[in-house]
Amino acid sequence: MIECRNITKIYSNGGVETIALGGVSFTIKDGEFVAIMGPSGSGKSTLMHILGCLDTPTSGKFLLDNRDISSMSDDQLADIRKEKLGFVFQAFNLLPRATVLRNVSLPLIYSDIPKDKREAIARTSLKNSGLDETHFYHRSNQLSGGQMQRVAIARALVNNPSLVLADEPTGNLDTKTGEIVLHTFQELNRKQKRTIILITHERYVAEHANRIITIRDGLIVEDEINISKREIKYSN
């Protein structure tokens, strides 16, 4: 699904150049659950922006489903994001006064799908993310942090993306709630074969993935299969 070939990203500010990525290469196959881990300033957020088609590399090639994303225009990148990618953020980014169903069905409004079908798709997505039906008509600001993140996951899935990118998705959650959210990602990967890339600075969080890529100072320093994967059992 993903192939990065010697990706670099250099920012210039007043004649001063900052190397955010110094040449990273790796591949991610369909159906993998990969964590990209690194401390603040390591380049992991820059890498996520490139993988999420929010930015383009200074040099190198980024292929997504065998398409070269590296030199695409902003409009082309927007189309890729709409058709192929789902995003889950630390801050949830939900509309606080809208219902859960409306928050999840919102990305479908720009399609030709009628309202009743949009709601049906949103319901399925919410069930897949593990949210109980009793919360579907609650406003998002009436939910707990863990419930809001499950709504955010459902919204990321509603367009049936081939790739889900989760940027520090447990950062605003306590440990127990964070584990429930991470278990949700594990289930989506295991049962639906979703390709998931999890961005984190915490080893404990990364250990829920099947593979861990560690980045430091703009370079990949380790790429390992996670043999001791953390598995947590919950009933929804």
Q: How far apart are CA 70 and CA 15, in angstroms?
A: 24
Which CATH number characterizes residue 67's domain? Answer: 3.40.50.300
Does 209 map to a domain? Answer: yes
Predicted pLDDT at 233? 56
Does 135 map to a domain? Answer: yes
The distance of Cα 86 from the centroid of its chain, to the nearest Å, equals 6
Predicted pLDDT at 201? 94
Q: Which residues pair with 37 in a beta bridge?
A: 200, 214
Range of the domain at 125: 2-225
Q: Convert the pLDDT of each residue in 28-56 to its tens digit.
A: 999 999 999 999 999 999 999 999 999 99
Assign 236 a pLDDT band (cuts: 50, 70, 90). Answer: very low
Average pLDDT over residues 219-223: 97
Asked if the model's pLDDT at residue 235 lies above 90, the reply is no
Which two tokens mark 109?
């409004």
Does 232 map to a domain? Answer: no
* Plot region of 19 (φ>0 → left; ψ -120 to 50 → alpha; else → beta): beta
| Greater model confidence, 197 or 131 | 197
- Contact yes or no for 210/225 (Cβ under 8 A): yes
Q: Convert the pLDDT of each residue in 67-86 to its tens digit.
A: 998 888 889 998 899 889 99
Q: How far apart are CA 87 and CA 224, in angstroms?
A: 24
Does 187 map to a domain? Answer: yes
Asked if the model's pLDDT at residue 112 lies above 90, the reply is no
What's the chain look like in SS3?
Answer: CEEEEEEEEEEEECCEEEEEEEEEEEEECCCCEEEEECCCCCCHHHHHHHHCCCCCCCEEEEEECCEECCCCCHHHHHHHHHHHEEEEECCCCCCCCCEHHHHHHHHHCCCCCCHHHHHHHHHHHHHHCCCCHHHCCCEHHHCCHHHHHHHHHHHHHCCCCCEEEEECCCCCCCHHHHHHHHHHHHHHHHHHCCEEEEEECCHHHHCCCCEEEEEECCEEEEEEECCCCCCCCCCC
Does 39 map to a domain? Answer: yes
Asked if the model's pLDDT at residue 232 lies above 70, the reply is no
Query: Domain total for the chain?
Result: 1
Predicted pLDDT at 109? 84
Q: Convert the pLDDT of each residue in 1-22 to its tens digit.
A: 899 999 999 998 888 999 999 9
Contacts of residue 195, Cβ cutoff 8 Å, sequence gap at least 6? 1, 28, 29, 30, 31, 32, 33, 162, 163, 164, 189
The distance of Cα 191 from the centroid of its chain, to the nearest Å, equals 17
Does 236 map to a domain? Answer: no
Does 6 map to a domain? Answer: yes
Assign 234 a pLDDT band (cuts: 50, 70, 90). Answer: low
Does 234 map to a domain? Answer: no
Radius of gyration of the chain from its Cα atoms, rounded to whole angstroms: 18
